[in-house]
């Protein structure tokens, strides 16, 4: 796209371009030039909308965290319907099957980005913390409905599911088989389902 031609919804297009670079080439390839090249615009476009590249990355992550909020609403609304393990498998696949795994690597190894995110999110790992909260809320709703054992520690279950899910997806060459994700979920939930035949 020639310089000077306006992009429609510039932020969204730049964020989407960054995701494509992350998924295709990995965090090390993510530069401002790579993003603008992928988006088909001049490099100056990014710097007209963001103070610097770390600001762009931080806002990209905040945007993806906001998407977890939307996913959380949908997941909690599914409580009491279908099969618990199926809902969790779908939620983890939607989370880690997207760009989340690459973003977590980016946060881990990008000192400037991590420091900037700490200013507003002082504890935990961004994305993972919010994802664990999403799973905790869902499991709490299912426990209130009697589909998770009353004595179950839903926060520990959620953290275990997020940690295990991250390992399953990060350790896979491409997307893991849905059956392997489901097997992990049912293993973590073992003992927490009052009626395993119905909910596993």
Pick the CATH number of 67-199 from 3.20.20.140, 1.10.150.120, 1.20.140.10, 1.10.357.10: 1.10.357.10
CATH C-level class of 1-49: mainly alpha
| Predicted local distance difference test score (pLDDT) of residue 175 | 75
Q: Hey, what are 30's tokens?
A: 């993510």
Q: Report CA-CA distances (Å) from 104 to 31, 98, 133, 141, 190.
A: 16, 11, 16, 27, 28
* pLDDT for res 70: 92
Our CA dihedral for 148, 96, 131, 13, rounded to 10 degrees, sits at: -140
CA nearest to 26, candidates 92, 131, 110, 91:
110
Return the number of other C-beta atoms located less than 10 Å from residue 99's C-beta: 20
CA 36, CA 14: separation in Å to the nearest integer?
A: 7
| pLDDT given at position 119 | 81
Per-residue pLDDT of the chain (200 residues; tens, 9 = 90+): 444 444 458 899 999 999 999 988 888 899 999 999 999 998 889 989 999 998 999 999 999 889 899 999 999 999 999 999 999 999 999 998 778 888 888 888 888 888 888 888 877 888 899 999 999 999 999 999 999 999 999 999 999 999 999 989 887 666 788 899 999 999 999 989 885 444 54
- What's the pLDDT at 174? 66
Please give the pLDDT value at position 198. Answer: 46
Task: Please state the domain extents for the chain.
Answer: 1-49, 67-199
Name the pTM for this structure.
0.84
* pLDDT for 169: 87
Residue 3's pLDDT is 44
The reported pLDDT for the residue numbered 136 is 98
């Amino acid at each position: 796209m020639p310089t000077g031609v306006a992009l429609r919804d510039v932020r969204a297009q730049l964020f989407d371009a960054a995701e494509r670079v992350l998924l295709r080439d990995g965090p090390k390839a993510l530069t401002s030039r790579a993003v603008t090249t992928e988006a088909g615009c001049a490099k100056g476009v990014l710097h007209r909308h963001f103070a610097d590249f770390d600001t762009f990355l931080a806002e990209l992550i905040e945007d993806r965290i906001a998407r977890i909020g939307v996913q959380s609403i949908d997941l909690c609304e599914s409580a009491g319907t279908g099969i618990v393990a199926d809902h969790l498998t779908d939620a983890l696949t939607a989370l880690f099957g997207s760009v989340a795994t690459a973003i977590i690597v980016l946060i881990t190894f990008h000192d400037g980005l991590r420091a900037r995110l700490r200013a507003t999110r002082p504890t935990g790992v961004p994305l993972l913390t919010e994802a664990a909260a999403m799973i905790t809320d869902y499991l709490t709703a299912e426990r209130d409905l009697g589909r998770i054992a009353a004595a179950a520690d839903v926060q520990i279950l959620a953290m275990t599911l997020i940690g295990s899910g991250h390992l399953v997806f990060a350790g896979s060459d491409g997307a893991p088989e849905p059956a392997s994700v489901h097997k992990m979920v049912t293993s973590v939930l073992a003992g927490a389902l009052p009626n395993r035949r119905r909910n596993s």
